[in-house]
Amino acid sequence: MVRLYIQIASSTDADFSPRKTASEEDVQAYAKKILQPYSIEWERVEWYSVYPIGQGISDNYTLDHRVFLGGDACHTHSPKAGQGMNTAFLDAQNLAWKINLVERGFADRSLLHTYEFERKDVAETLLSFDNKYAKLFSQKPPSASAVAAASESTPAVQESHGDNQFVQVFKEGCEFTSGYGVKYQPSVITWSPQHPVQSPVVQPEGSKLRPGRLMINADVTRVVDANVVHLEQEVPMNGSFRIFVFAGKLDLTKGALRDLEQGLRKRSSFYATYERQDVKTVSHHEKHNPHSHFFTFCIIFANKRPEVEISRDVPGLLAQYRDHVYADNLWSRRVPDAHASAHAKMDLDQDRGGVIVVRPDGYIAFVTSLIEGTGTVDALNGYFGSFCTKKIGQDSAHL
């Protein structure tokens, strides 16, 4: 089965009407004209319709945070950029992980307020792009050479098509059409460099990682079996926060890793506060959530795989994430001069590393330095404590 989008009217036509209707035969005639000198015939037509381009958005995405809307129920736009179903999926994903954390008792119900805040902003940004993009299609169908030029980046092509508005808008919207255009604004679950916490370890100076964006793709070597894997895909979409500890060079960060592990052991830490009740009976083969369904850890060393010994180099509790221990030893053309390409792609110190917290939907929540002392775990406690149901990071006396 083949689906065709056929433009049957242009805004430059004298009799143009956005509500113009056309019969099945009319649409086929337009298609045959477009494909000349080639031909096309139909054995049968399963379905056809006339779609007038339009954009719209709902005033609210929720009613008292008990009824929620997503997809075309709250925003609609033209199909030109292929973002209709894609946007609906992201609505559902964004809402699902938040409801999951609230219903399981991990997050305060106020977390649900961020659904409309985040997704409506994305929809408005998409509608703005789609509005410009759709108008160009309505005015005049772009030539094949113009569409091809949009994917070129040579100086000669840029010069010859510099004044082509279609090419310019297409390039501006490449992030949306490729699926990477979503950016979430700063909030309680997405800490920007200007977050009120004002901690010197949060969003290390010089780091260009952008909270609210998808985590950058990076290949690493898994230590337990020497397989090359995509780091961002190592933890499934299971509702857990992913805490990526980029541990830098073994001999330089040993103390910082030890202090992080000791900080996690404290009864007031987020780690201990949301520990699984059945933690003592969890299977030895549990890879992702041996301690909690709320989070999981990945530890990445800027060393060659033979140099990493999990039982020796990964302290205490963190060693139980042995299937999530990696060697950052692969060359990448994006950072050809880096000795630890994954660290470099994340814009982290290749020797000292850092910690990246990624939300259950794959978007970066915040970045912190990996340092000796309590600074790193304090930053993690501060982040999770800002929206969780229990007090975190406050030691109390116990009899």
User: Is 306 part of a structural domain of the chain?
Assistant: yes
pLDDT digits (tens, 9 = 90+) for 46-104: 988 887 777 889 999 999 888 999 988 888 877 666 677 778 889 999 999 999 999 99
User: Is 200 part of a structural domain of the chain?
Assistant: no
Query: Quick one: 260 and 354 in the same domain?
Result: yes
How many C-beta neighbours within 10 Å does residue 399 have? 2
Q: What is the pLDDT of residue 224?
A: 97
CATH number at residue 138: 3.50.50.60
Q: What is the pLDDT of residue 5?
A: 82
Asked if pLDDT for residue 16 goes beyond 90, the answer is: no
How many C-beta neighbours within 10 Å does residue 311 have? 7
Which of 120-129, 193-202, 383-392 bottoms out in mean pLDDT, i.e. has the lowest?
193-202
Whole-number Å distance between alpha carbons of 137 and 170: 11
Residue, of 352 and 85, whose pLDDT is higher? 352
Query: Quick one: 165 and 23 in the same domain?
Result: no
Query: Quick one: 82 and 134 in the same domain?
Result: yes
Q: Is the dihedral of CA 278, 284, 286, 288 positive or negative?
A: positive
Question: Are the CB atoms for 116 and 95 separated by under 8 Å?
Answer: no
Q: What is the pLDDT of residue 13?
A: 64
For the residues 298-327, what does the mean pLDDT come to? Answer: 96
Given 146, 161, 178, the domain boundary residue is 178
Residue 398 identity (one-letter amino acid): H
Given 178, 210, 238, the domain boundary residue is 178
The pair phi, psi for residue 58, each rounded to 5°, is -75, 150
Residue, of 178 and 114, whose pLDDT is higher? 114
Query: Quick one: 18 and 63 in the same domain?
Result: no
For the record, the structure tokens of 101 come out as 């954390």
- Count structural domains, the chain: 3
CA 78 to chain centre: 24
Which of 72-86, 89-103, 158-172, 312-326 bottoms out in mean pLDDT, i.e. has the lowest?
158-172
User: Is 114 part of a structural domain of the chain?
Assistant: yes
Query: Quick one: 234 and 366 in the same domain?
Result: yes
CATH number at residue 296: 3.40.30.20
Q: What is the pLDDT of residue 386?
A: 92
Which of 18-27, 231-240, 333-342, 381-390 bottoms out in mean pLDDT, i.e. has the lowest?
18-27
User: Is 183 part of a structural domain of the chain?
Assistant: no
Q: Is the dihedral of CA 38, 42, 46, 52 positive or negative?
A: positive
Residue, of 282 and 145, whose pLDDT is higher? 282
For the residues 9-28, what does the mean pLDDT come to? Answer: 71
The pair phi, psi for residue 356, each rounded to 5°, is -115, 125
Does residue 340 sit in helix, strand or coil? coil
Query: Quick one: 265 and 174 in the same domain?
Result: no
Query: Quick one: 42 and 136 in the same domain?
Result: no
Q: What is the pLDDT of residue 32?
A: 93
Q: In what order do the strands lie in the sheet with 241-248?
A: 228-230, 219-222, 325-327, 295-301, 241-248, 354-358, 364-368
User: Is 318 part of a structural domain of the chain?
Assistant: yes
Residue, of 207 and 281, whose pLDDT is higher? 281
pLDDT-based confidence at 286, cuts 50/70/90?
very high
Query: Quick one: 227 and 376 in the same domain?
Result: yes
For the residues 259-271, what does the mean pLDDT come to? Answer: 95
For the chain, the average pLDDT equals 86
Query: Quick one: 247 and 370 in the same domain?
Result: yes
- Provide, rounded to the nearest whole percent, the portion of the chain with pLDDT above 70: 86
Q: What is the pLDDT of residue 19?
A: 54
Residue, of 311 and 143, whose pLDDT is higher? 311
Distances in Å between the alpha carbon of 72 and those of 67, 81, 255, 371? 15, 15, 52, 46
Q: Give residue 9's domain range.
A: 1-52
Given 178, 203, 228, the domain boundary residue is 178
pLDDT digits (tens, 9 = 90+) for 135-153: 776 665 556 666 566 555 5
pLDDT-based confidence at 20, cuts 50/70/90?
low
pLDDT digits (tens, 9 = 90+) for 381-399: 999 999 999 988 765 333 2
Nearest CA to 220 among 326, 310, 301, 313?
Answer: 326
User: Is 193 part of a structural domain of the chain?
Assistant: no
Residue, of 3 and 146, whose pLDDT is higher? 3
Whole-number Å distance between alpha carbons of 351 and 372: 14
Q: What is the pLDDT of residue 82?
A: 65
For the record, the structure tokens of 45 come out as 């037509």
Query: Quick one: 224 and 339 in the same domain?
Result: yes
User: Is 203 part of a structural domain of the chain?
Assistant: no
For the record, the structure tokens of 364 come out as 């970066």
Question: Are the CB atoms for 325 and 58 separated by under 8 Å?
Answer: no
Query: Quick one: 45 and 64 in the same domain?
Result: no
For the record, the structure tokens of 201 come out as 């370890």
Query: Quick one: 291 and 348 in the same domain?
Result: yes
Which of 14-18, 173-177, 200-204, 354-358 bottoms out in mean pLDDT, i.e. has the lowest?
14-18
Question: Are the CB atoms for 87 and 126 separated by under 8 Å?
Answer: yes
User: Is 313 part of a structural domain of the chain?
Assistant: yes
